[in-house]
Amino acid sequence: MRTNNTNILLELENIESEKIPSVILLFGENSFLRDQFIDRIRALSLSEVENSFNHDILDLSIVELIDLQVASQTYPFMSDKRLIEIRNSDKIQSKDKELIEKIIAEKIDSTILFFISNKIDARSVFYKIIRKYGKIFDVDTFPNFLLKEWITTTAKTLEINLSQDVPDLILEIVEPSMGHIYSELKKLRDFVGIGGQVSIEDVSNLVGRSKVDAIFKLGDLFLEGNLEETLILVRRLLNNEAPELLLGVLRSNVSRWLVCKIAVAKGLDDSVIVKTTNIPKFLLKNIKNQSKNLSISYLRYLCFSLQKLDRKIKREGDRSNLFRLFEIFFVESHLAKTN
């Protein structure tokens, strides 16, 4: 059985000691969520005292499967369970099928085999074996549409209360990484104290936002027609940040300008625009001001151009050429706007 990333948080929250599967595969590159899951399994499997004698970590880039077989047949010491973490599980190959099935079938019932890997091929023999005998948890990515809910529930766990629109503001100014967001939430907790109320002003004053401010400044420079300063800032951003981040923010901004422009043209009031477009209330005034001098046809042109830029970035093997791709986009967009 496989649990994907859309309900992994619910699984993590609800998993109980007696319900821990005896064979688990946890894979994916969401390091924050993966580490939380590992800590949860450890805590529910063994007490701090039991952990010293009944917790093995085997790295398959160092040890052999025969070592895992021996460990899996070792009884726990003064404990009901024994936990074996197997790192780099992607090292297991199709030729190991018979041995892996034997290890799972003959392991002691009290032993939990916890396979962990950054990546795994769902077509592999190993993956199919775990799907048959155990449970698979995918933490490869975490969809952004669930991050707002995660921010709210994590704030409750940290015993702080978030005012309305605070989760939206955090998502606006913090990189969409659970680790980064969690760090900022702890910073806010330290400021307001346990049981405190976090306001929009608190987030604006405390949460690190130099990167996001630079990206928003980029939008302002572009709208002002300042091509030279726009390209200087693009180069600086690409020297420090992934192009996907810059592209994502640009596409988000242009999309908001377009839907806001259409909504205003239809005569919708602010409350309806916020409800129907998902533009945060605290951003609406700025979005309206930015888009008021842009035509709908030009905004659609920008959307189409950013789609083409996205495809070019994904095809580009030489990362040193990325600035040139962004430069062409901004120059052509500037010319289209002035013409």
Burial classification of residue 180, based on how many CB atoms lie within 10 Å of its CB (0-12 exposed, 13-18 middle, 19 or more buried): middle
What CATH number does the domain located at 210-338 have?
1.20.272.10
Cβ(234)–Cβ(214) under 8 Å? no
Q: Where are the domains of the chain?
A: 2-138, 144-206, 210-338
What is the number of H-type helices and E-type strands within the chain? 17, 8
Give the whole-angstrom CA distance, residue 129 versus residue 1.
Answer: 11
144-206 under CATH 3.40.605.10, yes or no: no
173 CA to centre of own chain = 15
Bridge-partner residues for 55, per DSSP? 83
d(CA 136, CA 130): 7
- pLDDT tens digits, the chain, 339 residues: what are they? 455 444 565 666 666 655 788 899 988 888 788 888 888 888 888 887 777 788 889 999 999 999 999 999 999 888 888 999 999 998 999 999 999 999 999 999 999 999 999 888 888 999 999 999 988 888 766 666 778 888 998 899 889 999 988 898 888 778 777 888 888 898 899 888 889 999 988 887 777 655 666 667 788 888 888 888 888 888 887 877 778 878 888 888 899 899 999 999 999 999 898 888 878 887 888 889 888 889 999 999 999 999 999 888 888 767 678 888 999 999 999 898 887
Residue 184: CB partners within 8 Å, gap ≥ 6?
170, 174, 206, 207, 208
Residue type for 335, please? L
pTM over 0.75, yes/no: no
Helices 281-291 and 270-277, interaxial angle, to 10°? 100
State the CATH class of domain 2-138.
alpha beta
CB 53 within 8 A of CB 45: no
**Closest Cα to residue 135, out of 30, 16, 6, 11?**
11
